[in-house]
Amino acid sequence: MTTAGTLTVAGLGPGDEALITPEVRAALDAATDIVGYIPYVRRIAPRPGLTLHESDNRVELDRAAHALDMAAQGRRVVIVSSGDPGVFAMASALFEALENRPGTPDDIDIRILPGITAMLAAAAQLGAPLGHDFCAINLSDNLKPWSVIEHRLRMAARGGFAMAFYNPRSASRPHQFGQALDILRDECGGERLISFARDVTKPDQCLHTVTLAEATPEMADMRTVVIVGNADTRRVGRYVYTPRRA
Amino acid sequence: MTTAGTLTVAGLGPGDEALITPEVRAALDAATDIVGYIPYVRRIAPRPGLTLHESDNRVELDRAAHALDMAAQGRRVVIVSSGDPGVFAMASALFEALENRPGTPDDIDIRILPGITAMLAAAAQLGAPLGHDFCAINLSDNLKPWSVIEHRLRMAARGGFAMAFYNPRSASRPHQFGQALDILRDECGGERLISFARDVTKPDQCLHTVTLAEATPEMADMRTVVIVGNADTRRVGRYVYTPRRA
């Protein structure tokens, strides 16, 4: 009989160690194996009895299958994600791998441990731009057509939502974020506030708030979370906030 | 000359102490005054040198003004919120009070410390239902007309967003959540999955996933976070997840 292993997906937060929850810290301390994208695994200190398994970007399903295999063999496996594992991160990929796996899905003890996701860390640094109804949209078209993203931007704007964008711009698709800004200007007008939060809570953190009229695609890259306010979003002193009324 | 005080708005997470970040814990330990809605302040252990200021629900602006006054007098004040202070909580109310206050907004050192918000704690307990683009909507009509909420539900559904609802139902407006369910059935069809997460991460936590056809208003109250999947949201074993593709 094999001792049952465990599989935990843990959110490391956006970068600052003081944002890692005690629940996640305890899971990391109890792990025999830590699996994840290279820069996230490198945030974990090596120790005896712990094996670190680094993998490249865009191999989420292979990584999840490997973690499931090790858990099935009785290991205490932790998949590490940046931010919150349930927000554009490894939790969904894990369940996809579980669905594809032969056997009973409930054989393996799976736990998802939430973390501070980038948009909420960015919002806190900026003030409270997500203080009213809001949407989170992944602007990468790796896993969905760009036309779906354009449609979502328009529906979110017409619904009066504030918006947070993950993966706004990458070297492989430099023009799309400019198209997103055009759609937003079309739907929301040029006066709407947009904030760029790069390397949130890390030593090089950079925050920048402008109007949509002033925004340019170069203000974002893959290390940036972008937050667009709703029609009432405003500045008070150095802060940006969205009132609770609308 | 008055010593400058500080004003921190700290997220206590949904209930489990192991979800309070070290950053928040340090702010609580350094505070001279803690301000907040009664049940949140009661989560803080009394100690010498710390004054606890409990206030009732729906007095957010008075509470924020009181906290600003104490900070201006040189105190180290922490406003405690459940979950994340930037998501339907005290951060936005604080900036509203700051905007209304005479004087320079940047006189007082304000910091917002993020926490684990209820929808992400609920998503983690359920699996990964918010693993793709999603919206967060406060279903309370205290601060906005119900017609705005209905419009947002339709825009979110037509955009193909998963959705998380805060404050879905209260004794003072028992019928509205039924209307929300009717709108969702109209837009999304009866087979769409909807999850009810009550008292998330607390000892009495209760999770319940049904289809929209099966959902009834009584399944939610003010201690419940509701999550509606998108068209691809599915079950695998005891989990609910939304695939990364759409």
Span A168-212, pLDDT tens digits: 987 787 789 999 999 999 999 999 999 999 999 999 999 999 999
Residues A54, A37: Cα–Cα separation, whole Å: 6
pLDDT at B88 over 90: yes
Tell me the C-alpha to C-alpha distance, in Å, between residue B209 and each of A153, B161, B197, B214: 29, 18, 9, 10
Percentage above 70 pLDDT, chain B: 99
Percent of chain B with pLDDT over 90: 89
Determine the CATH number of domain A119-241.
3.30.950.10
CA distances from B67 to A129, B4, B11, B58, B78 (A): 21, 14, 16, 15, 8
Q: What is the pLDDT of residue A57?
A: 84
In this structure, how many other beta carbons lie within 10 angstroms of the beta carbon of residue B158? Answer: 16
Cα–Cα distance for residue pair A42/A22, rounded to 1 Å? 19
- pLDDT for the residue A221: 92
Whether the CB-CB separation of A21 and B19 falls below 8 Å is answered with yes
Residue B231 predicted with pLDDT over 90: yes
Task: Supply the pLDDT for residue B1.
Answer: 43
CB neighbours of residue B59 within 10 Å: 13
Check whether A3 has a pLDDT greater than 80.
no
B245: chain A residues, CB-CB within 8 Å: 143-144
Confidence band for B53, pLDDT divided at 50, 70 and 90: very high
pTM of the model: 0.97
> What average pLDDT does the segment B27-46 reach?
97
Rounded to the nearest integer, the mean pLDDT of chain A is: 95
The closest CB to that of B120, out of A60, A84, A237, belongs to A84
Mutation site, A201, A236, A242, interface B, largest B CB count within 10 A: A236
pLDDT for the residue numbered A38: 96
Give the pair of three-digit tokens for residue A232.
Answer: 């009432």
Residues of B (151-210) whose Cβ lies below 8 Å from A: 151-152, 154-156, 158-161
Element (H, E) at B97: helix B90-100
Q: Among A180, A155, A3, which residue's Cα sits nearest to residue A76?
A: A3
Instruction: List the domain boundaries for chain A.
Output: 6-116, 119-241
Residue B26, pLDDT score? 98
- The pLDDT, as a whole number, for residue B175 is 85
Q: What is the mean pLDDT of residues A74-79?
A: 97
Tell me how far apart the alpha carbons of residues B69 and B98 are, in angstroms, rounded to a whole number. 10
Complex ipTM tops 0.95: yes
CB of A134 less than 8 A from some CB of B: yes
The CATH number of A6-116 is: 3.40.1010.10
Flag whether pLDDT at B3 surpasses 80: no
Strand-pair partners of A80: A10
Which site among B239, B240, B242, B245 would you substitute to test the A interface, given the most A Cβ atoms closer than 10 Å to its Cβ? Answer: B239
Q: What is the pLDDT of residue A171?
A: 77
Q: Report pLDDT digits (tens) over A127-146.
A: 999 999 999 999 998 889 99
Least confident of A96-105, A230-239, B190-199: A96-105
Burial group, residue A78, by CB count within 10 angstroms (0-12, 13-18, 19+): buried
